[in-house]
Amino acid sequence: MRHIISLLLENESGALSRVSGLFSARGYNIESLTVAPTDDPSLSRMTIVTSGSEQIIEQITKQLNKLIDVVRLIDLTPHRHIEREMMLVKVKVTDNTGREEAKRLTDIFRGNIVDVSQETYVIELTGHGSKLDSFLEALQGFPVMEVVRSGVMGIARGEVALHL
């Protein structure tokens, strides 16, 4: 089953490789991993999307917790939570119909066109991973030049929170 795990870790060089090294050394799946410093500069927040049997997920959370640099951890999966991913897509738009169609699709998906050149648009889109997938599907008629996805971030709804 797919799980989304959030962690707070010491914002120290090497902390990221301890986490990624753990996944490769123990053969755990890793679908995406995002990380950035938090409002407290001594901490980074990481979101990992992984999959495995219940027993493997249990081991993953235990092994992550065991890393000295991991301060707190939450498996968001059993909680009501929000998942967001950001995507930037560069598409080729050579004529007016293309430009209009791209604009229309972007609006439908509540995206933004953030860069325009003679023959290209860069579209920015945020949402659940499946929404981003659908958007790419909808864009199938266009020559897509580049796709950048941020990987998933997550946060629990309501009172549940991951903090010190």
Partner 1 sequence: MSETPAKSAAITGAEIFVRCLQEEGVEVVFGYPGGAVLHIYDALYRQDKIAHILVRHEQGAIHAAEGYAKSSDRCGVALVTSGPGATNAVTGIADAYMDSVPLVVFSGQVPTHLIGNDAFQEVDTVGITRPCVKHNFLVKDVKDLATTIKKAFYVATSGRPGPVLVDIPKDVTAQTAVFEYPKQIKMRSYNPTTRGHSGQIRKALELILSAKKPMLYTGGGVILGRASEALTEFTRKLGYPITNTLMGLGGYPASDRQFVGMLGMHGTYEANMGMHHADVLIAIGVRFDDRVTGNIEKFCPYAKIVHIDVDPASISKNVKVDIPIVGQVEPILREMVREMDNMPDQPDQDTLAGWWRQIEEWRAKDCLKYDRSSPIIKPQYVVQKLWELTGGDAFVTSDVGQHQMWAAQFYGFDKPNRWINSGGLGTMGVGLPFAMGAQFAHPDATVTCVTGEASIQMCIQELSTCLQYHLPIKILNLNNRYLGMVRQWQEFFYQGRYAMSYMDALPDFVKLAESYGHVGMRIEEPGDVEGAIREALALKDRLVFMDFITDQTENVYPMIPAGAGQNEMILL
- What is the binding site for partner 1 (CB under 8 A)? 9-10, 13-14, 17-18, 21, 25, 55, 58-59, 62-63, 65-66, 68-71, 164
Sign of the CA dihedral with 112 first, then 117, 119, and 122 last: negative
Q: Which is nearer to partner 1, 21 or 141 (CB)?
A: 21
CB of 104 to partner 1, least distance (A): 49
Q: Which is nearer to partner 1, 26 or 92 (CB)?
A: 26
Distances (CA, A) of 91 to 44, 114, 135: 33, 12, 12
CB of 63 to partner 1, least distance (A): 5
CB of 49 to partner 1, least distance (A): 21
Query: Running DSSP on this structure, what letter comes out for residue 140?
Result: G
